[in-house]
Amino acid sequence: MANFIKTQNSFASGEVSPEFYARDDINGLSCLENMDVLPGGGLSRRCGLAHIASLTGDARLVGFSVSEQENYILVMTSGHILIYADNVFVSDLVSPWSADDLSKLQYAQRFGTMIFVHPDHCPQVLEKTSDGFSLSNFMFARNDTDMSVNMPFMRYEDTNDIKISVSSSDRGNNYAKFTTSSDFWTTQYVGTRFVLLNHQWLIEEYISPTEVIAYINDACTLPSAPIADWFESAFSPARGWPISITFHQDRLVFGGSRSYPGGVWMSKVGNHKNFDVGTGLDDEAIFITLLSQQRQQICTVVSSDNLQILTSVGEWAISSKPLTPSVVDIKQHTSVGSCASRYLAPQKIEDSTVFISKNLRDIRELTLDELGENYSALDLCSFSKHLMTLPIDIAYNDSLHRLYIVMADGNMAVLNQNSALGISAWGAYKTYGAFKSVVVVNGITYVVTNRGDTYNLEKFSADAMRDTDKYDFAFRASSLPMRASAHNASRLRIRKVSARILDTKSIYINGMRINMANEIYSDDAPGFSGDVHVNVLGTSHNCVAPYWTIHGNQPYPATILSVCVSGWYNI
């Protein structure tokens, strides 16, 4: 039997999984619920949620910041984009996306324009103008001379053996009948462009699986033999549309498509609607294919110091500066892989790109080495895998150094991350009902919640002590199992648990209410700062359980700087 005094004045590792309970080098907790780890290592009750608007159904949030003074929240619902600014409803735009489409919707913003992509829909352009907002189809640049379109064209492998016979049509001189050597055409090809005989043709009418009518806006001599050298638009209703999008070195980049998952298409420099590869001049468009022993499905593309390409089996980067058709320095750096079933937007945290791995259990930090040559993908949640229960949304608040990950079960895993101060602490946020989506706009964290039969747009607010001014929420911090002098305790008796608190009105320690010095718990009364304690009687033989717990559910601030425990133990 030995006496002990054990003080924990840093909780920098947050809540850790049970397999790490025997580690002596972790400043962690067995439970951290509805509390944040402060930069100094202490704990504070999370902010409450303020209600902004009621929604008609489930939604996904997207931030749209035109300038520092002009910030909007896009609430993506089935068939609509609801736009809010400063907590006020601004506009309702009709959109082509159903509720099932929202999880794969990706986007990129440049100034007052945001482009959305989805593998099953034509890209959409959201524009903020002096008259309000508009949503329209993305249109590739046209050439004034012959009205051809500067879109990417390619030959898909499943058409290598197909030839096209071109014959006259009774519809006129600018029309021709395309007859393929085997079944190929579907009604989805109507409106799609093809390149053959050095001209662009627009499919106008479907006749049969081997015949269509095509239109050309120029004079063309019809060939006497079938054509083997032809190309179709890389993107179409038949072949699908881009999966991912970003802007990089003043190029618009599309990554992957439904029918060509390993392709990367880059526009001309400064002309984001022109994808004509031309003759390979430095500013002309670029097309590359990821080549490896494994089939690569591009999940997303990220513009950082390099162009990062995250696929289902690994992480690639194009490091060329400047990026030109003749100089594309691309290689695969790591082999983690990203989630392909839904879009979980990678987040910029300091100089790293943080992404969720394909197993939906790892939160990876993609970082360049000191020489700026190779990337590593360190796991940010090695100690807290139990909190990763099927992520469905992610956002990072740079001003708070806080990463939010919404889980399918309605809870939220939250990482307080500050590398300079040695803080990397995971915890859980819970609320009455469920969190459904999260976004950060202008330093404010917004969420969609589902409470009973209602969906709501809400925001975390330092002025809110409850959630939507209706629901109290419990907060809790529990110690790791008792270890002393690098030993596990087998029998434990706690004499006293003390906590140093700051501006706190009401907490419980080990189930006992702490009576503050001022005994005042009204909203306008000051909180208590100092040391509080409870005397504990009894002996515990369950030394895997936490030996102290600080908790509460009243709508008052609570901050814990350190916890000190004294007693005796056997090993």
Report pLDDT digits (tens) over 517-560.
545 556 667 788 999 989 876 767 677 889 899 999 999 999 99
Output the DSSP codes for 203-266.
EEEEEETTEEEEE-SS--PPPSS-B---EEESSBTTTB-EEEEEEETTEEEEEEESS-TTEEEE
CATH number at 199 reads 2.40.10
Provide the residue-wise pLDDT of the chain in tens; the chain has 571 residues: 788 899 999 999 999 999 999 888 899 999 999 999 999 999 999 999 999 999 999 999 999 999 989 999 999 999 999 999 989 999 999 999 999 999 999 999 999 999 999 999 999 999 999 889 999 999 999 998 778 999 999 999 999 999 999 999 999 889 999 999 999 999 999 999 999 999 999 999 999 999 999 999 888 889 999 999 999 999 999 999 999 999 999 999 999 999 999 999 999 999 999 999 999 999 999 999 998 777 889 999 999 999 999 999 999 999 999 999 999 999 999 999 999 999 999 999 988 999 999 999 999 999 998 887 899 999 999 999 999 999 999 999 999 999 999 999 999 999 999 988 999 999 999 999 999 999 999 999 999 999 999 999 999 999 999 999 999 999 999 999 988 777 788 788 888 999 999 999 889 999 888 866 545 556 667 788 999 989 876 767 677 889 899 999 999 999 999 999 998 888 8
User: Does residue 303 share a domain with residue 218?
Assistant: no
The total domain count for the chain is: 3
What is the spatial distance between Cα 381 and Cα 428, in angstroms, rounded to a whole number? Answer: 13
Are the CB atoms for 46 and 34 separated by under 8 Å?
yes
* Integer Cα distance of 173 and 219 in angstroms: 8
- Identify the domain containing residue 182 by its residue range: 153-233
Any domain includes 469: no
The pLDDT, as a whole number, for residue 537 is 66
Q: In terms of domains, do 382 and 332 share one?
A: yes
Instruction: Count Cα neighbours of 564 within 13 Å in the Cβ-side half-sphere.
Output: 8
Q: Look at the pTM and tell me if it is higher than 0.85.
A: yes
Cα–Cα distance for residue pair 57/60, rounded to 1 Å: 10
Whether residue 58 sits in one domain with residue 42:
no
Q: Are residues 74 and 104 in the same domain?
A: yes
Residue 375 falls within a domain, yes or no?
yes
Identify whether 467 is part of a domain. Answer: no
| Dihedral (Cα; 130, 134, 139, 140), 10-degree rounding | 40
Q: Indicate whether 78 and 168 sit together in one domain.
A: no
Provide the CATH number for the domain around residue 516.
2.60.120
Domain-embedded: residue 470: no
* Same domain? 254 vs 108: yes
Phi, psi at 325, each rounded to 5°: -60, -30
450 and 481 in a single domain? The answer is: no
* 339 and 439, same domain (yes or no): yes
Same domain assignment for residues 178 and 194: yes
CATH number where 112 lies: 2.130.10.10
| DSSP single-letter state for residue 480 | P
Q: Is 147 among the domain residues?
A: no
Same structural domain, 488 and 454: no
